[in-house]
Amino acid sequence: MPHNGQMKLFTGTANPALGQEVADFLGISLGGVHISRFASGEIYVRYEESVRGIDVFVLQPLSAPVNENLVELLIMIDALKRASAGRITAVIPYYGYARQEKKTAPREPITARMVADIITTVGADRVLTMDLHAPAIQGFFNIPVDHMTALPMLAQYIRGKGIANGVIIAPDAGIVKKAEKLATMLDLPLGVMYKRRPAHNVAQTTFVIGEVDGMQPIIIEDIIDTGGSVEQVIEALLSRGALPEIHILATHGVFSPPALERLNHPAIKEIVVTNTIAIPPERRPANLKILSVAPLLGDTIRRIHQNISVSALFN
Ligand code: R5P
């Protein structure tokens, strides 16, 4: 159904502060929606205003508790569809389950694909997301996906630090392309590490290509979860003579335990993440800087609504 030219933004309970910031950027009020839980734990959603014919955006990162937040998003989309919304865009700043995007052993699921299927089946017309762990996940959807990146924002921030003897570090093969882009943006050399995962949430970093001796590493990640990867990378870099003044850049700060202990490392100068995920004060490691993606998401939402290109936002 084509929308009627009006736009509304609603937020689930996963990151309402980001929803409010995006609404402020757009100069609109957040739409009213009641979300509660029955005693049984089942989720209840009711929109408090009409959405008939409207171009609706519903913001919900799939952060912890991921299954709760996912089902809440699905129920929000279902209610919008049944209330005759003109078009429904799921704004998912952090796409959970993205690290289960392929089978690495027999009889495993591909959960990132399954999540894409249920979001589409329940009624989303489009998806807006950021820095997917694997860019190919975009193709798991048969509806348009605007896949935005925080890389220019992170680059601009770190450029402001004026690190002359910096080296951009890709902690594993999956992030080399992004690290290369960052190195080009900042005109810095690149170092590449090799990581293997012998078990869930266990990282082993065994190899490094590039020169790091006497240099200040800037590690680029998509996600910091338990901090295991970062901890391994730091040890490998220090053993090769890197300076103990390390910056870590990542789009998504998941910070599951024991991230706090692992990231409380004397060689870390600063950890820079964005607010795609709400990070409560008690889950924030020391020396954490949080950049806001609200202007980027707001601008993208405006462009989607007005049907104009979003590609300018990649620079
Ligand atoms: C995996 O390849 C990702 O890019 C991250 O490196 C990883 O998910 C971070 O997880 P953790 O902090 O638990 O090592």
**178 labelled catalytic:** no
* Rounded distance from Cα 143 to ligand 1 centre (Å): 28
* Rounded distance from Cα 145 to ligand 1 centre (Å): 23
Looking up residue 222, the CATH number of its domain turns out to be 3.40.50.2020
- Give the atom of ligand 1 at the shortest distance from the alpha carbon of 254: 12
Q: Are residues 113 and 181 in the same domain?
A: no
Choice among 103, 161, 178, 195 that is catalytic = 195
Residues near ligand 1 (Cβ within 6 A)? 99, 133, 171-172, 174-175, 201, 203, 221-230
Tell which one of 202, 225, 251, 265 to mutate to probe ligand 1, the residue whose CB is within 8 A of the most ligand atoms: 225
* Residue 1 is assigned to a structural domain of this protein: no
- pLDDT at position 79, please? 98
Mean predicted confidence (pLDDT) in 191-214: 84
Give the count of domains, the chain: 2
- Give the atom of ligand 1 at the shortest distance from the alpha carbon of 133: 4
Name the percent of the chain lying above pLDDT 70: 99
CA distance 253 to 284: 9
* Greatest pairwise CA separation for the chain in angstroms: 62
Q: Are residues 298 and 216 in the same domain?
A: no
Q: Are residues 235 and 133 in the same domain?
A: no
Q: What is the mean pLDDT of the chain?
A: 96
* Residue 2 is assigned to a structural domain of this protein: no
Mean predicted confidence (pLDDT) in 263-276: 98
* Residue 257 is assigned to a structural domain of this protein: yes
* Residue 80 is assigned to a structural domain of this protein: yes
Rg (CA), the chain: 20
* Residue 183 is assigned to a structural domain of this protein: yes
Q: Are residues 304 and 207 in the same domain?
A: no
User: With contact defined as beta carbons under 8 Å apart, do 189 and 167 qualify?
Assistant: yes
User: With contact defined as beta carbons under 8 Å apart, do 90 and 66 qualify?
Assistant: no
Q: Are residues 27 and 125 in the same domain?
A: yes
* Rounded distance from Cα 282 to ligand 1 centre (Å): 21
Domain that holds residue 226: 151-291
Q: What is the pLDDT of residues 151-202, one digit of tens each?
A: 999 999 999 999 989 999 999 989 999 999 999 999 999 999 988 878 887 7
CA distance 123 to 42: 20
Q: Are residues 131 and 14 in the same domain?
A: yes
Tell which one of 102, 104, 229, 261 to mutate to probe ligand 1, the residue whose CB is within 8 A of the most ligand atoms: 229
Q: Are residues 120 and 141 in the same domain?
A: yes
Q: What is the pLDDT of residues 57-104, one digit of tens each?
A: 999 999 999 999 999 999 999 999 999 999 999 999 999 999 999 999
Q: Are residues 117 and 215 in the same domain?
A: no
Q: Are residues 252 and 308 in the same domain?
A: no
Q: Are residues 89 and 221 in the same domain?
A: no
Q: Are residues 177 and 273 in the same domain?
A: yes
* Rounded distance from Cα 225 to ligand 1 centre (Å): 6
* Rounded distance from Cα 184 to ligand 1 centre (Å): 23
Q: How confident is the model at residue 206 (pLDDT cuts 50, 70, 90)?
A: low
Give CA 291 to chain center in angstroms.
12
- Give the atom of ligand 1 at the shortest distance from the alpha carbon of 262: 12
